[in-house]
Amino acid sequence: MIRVGLLGSGFISDTYADALQDVRNAEIVANYSRDLARAEAFAAKWGPIARQYDSIEQLCADPEVDLVVIALPNEAHVEAVRIAAAAGKGIVCTKPLARTGAEAAEILRIVTEAGVWHGYAESSVFSPNIAKAHQMVAAGAIGDVLTMRAREAHSGPHAPHFWDAETAGGGALLDMGCHTVESARHFFGKHNPVTEVFAWGATMVHGDKTSGEDTAIALLKFAGGQLAQIESSWIEKGGMQLRHELVGSAGRIVTDTSQTPVWGFIENPAGYLVEKADADTGWVYPVPEEARAYGFSQEMRHFVDRFAAGEEPIETFDDGFVVNCILDACYASMKSGVWETVSVER
C-alpha cells in the first residue's frame, strides 16, 4: 500500500482524492490546507484520512507518507517540491509544473539533486479517449501523423488565484494550453522536439477579472515537420470542451471528451452536472464519472504503480519543464508578433 499525503483542499484536490479511490494500492493518510478547518472538512468528505496538517513541512516529515501529491496554486509549486524533496518523498505535481521555464528548471534541479521519484500530473494523455487514439496512432492506423488541432475551452477558472495572471504566471494559455501542448508531444513523439512557435492571445471578455489572456491560439512546429494548432479559451459558455483532431497520411482520428451519453432538457436543477456547466437548467450535458472520463483516475493509478515498482512514469518533471519552455516561447511570440524559437536550456 502506497501512503499518500495530499497538499491542497480545492477543486483539483477533490478530483485527485476521487481519483485515488480507484487505486487499489494507494491510501490517503494525510492531507494539508493552510486552514486546518478546511483540511479537516476535506478529510471528513474523503476520509477516513488519519492526519490533517496546516504545515507542508509537517506533512512531508510524516514518516507514514510515501508519496506527496501537490494540488496547490502555481506559485506554491517550487516551495512545495523543495520541502517534499528535502524529506525524501516521491512527488506528483499538478499541471502546469511551474509558471515559467526557469521555475520549472529549478523544480527539476531540486528533485534531480535530491534523487527523488517524480511524476508530472498531465491528465490529458491518460484520458480514455486520448489513450485509445494514441494506441491507434502507435499501431499505424492513420499512417504518419502530420497535423493536430487541439482545443480546450470553458467559461473561466474555479479559483480566484487563476485570475491573477501576475501571480499565477499567465492566463488561459498557461492554465489550459499546458494540456494540449503535452498532447501534441505525446502524439508526435517526445524525441521530436518543438522547435518554433507562433502565438496570439487577447483579453476579450474577462478584463474585469484578469490582466492575462482569456483566449489564445498557438502553432507549434516540430523538428520532423509536423504542425500542431492549440486553442485555449476562458470565454466559452456551456461546459468543458475538449477536442483533438489528428490528420495522418492514411486517415484521421477525432476525440471529443466533452461528448457524453447523458443529455436532456430540464426545467428543475438536478445538482452538479459537469465542470463549468454555467447553467443548471435547459439543455444539459452531464459527464458521468468525470475523474475517470478526464483521465485523473488512470494517471493516479499509473503513478502509484510506477512508484511502487521504482520505475519512471511516462510523464515526469522533465516533461513539465519542456511544456513550460514551449509556453514561454508562445508568450514571447504573443508580444513580438513573430515566430519564436523554443529554448530548453536549463
- What is the tens place of the pLDDT at every residue in 176-195? 999 999 999 999 999 999 99
- Region 210-234: mean pLDDT is 97
The domains located in the chain, with CATH, are: 2-124+297-314 (3.40.50.720), 125-288+325-341 (3.30.360.10)
Residue 289 corresponds to which cell in the numbers above? 464519472
Q: Is pLDDT above 80 for 200?
A: yes
What local confidence, expressed as pLDDT, does residue 248 receive? 98
Residue scoring higher pLDDT (89 or 289) = 89
Residue with cell 502524439: 187
What local confidence, expressed as pLDDT, does residue 95 receive? 97
Locate all alpha helices (DSSP H) within 55-148, ordered by sequence. 56-61, 77-86, 101-114, 128-138
Answer for the pair 240, 286: CB distance below 8 angstroms, yes or no. no
Q: Is pLDDT above 80 for 259?
A: no
Expressed in percent and rounded to 5, the helix, strand and coil fractions of the chain are 40, 25, 40
Q: Is pLDDT above 90 for 30?
A: yes
- Total count of residues recorded for the chain: 346
What local confidence, expressed as pLDDT, does residue 171 receive? 96
3-state secondary structure of 327: helix
Q: What is the pLDDT of residues 291-340, one digit of tens each?
A: 999 999 999 999 999 999 999 999 999 999 999 999 999 999 999 999 99
Sign of the Cα torsion 3, 116, 131, 95 reads positive
pLDDT confidence tier of residue 238, bands split at 50, 70 and 90: confident
User: Going along the chain, which residue ranges are E strands?
Assistant: 2-7, 26-32, 51-53, 67-70, 90-94, 118-121, 145-153, 194-202, 215-222, 227-233, 241-248, 251-256, 264-266, 282-284, 340-341
Residue type, 192: N
pLDDT confidence tier of residue 287, bands split at 50, 70 and 90: confident
3-state secondary structure of 6: strand
Task: Give the CA angle between residues 306, 320, 344 to the nearest 5°.
Answer: 130
Q: What is the pLDDT of residues 121-160, one digit of tens each?
A: 999 999 999 999 999 999 999 999 999 999 999 999 877 8
pLDDT confidence tier of residue 239, bands split at 50, 70 and 90: confident
Strands 51-53 and 26-32, by their bridges, are parallel
Answer for the pair 246, 187: CB distance below 8 angstroms, yes or no. yes
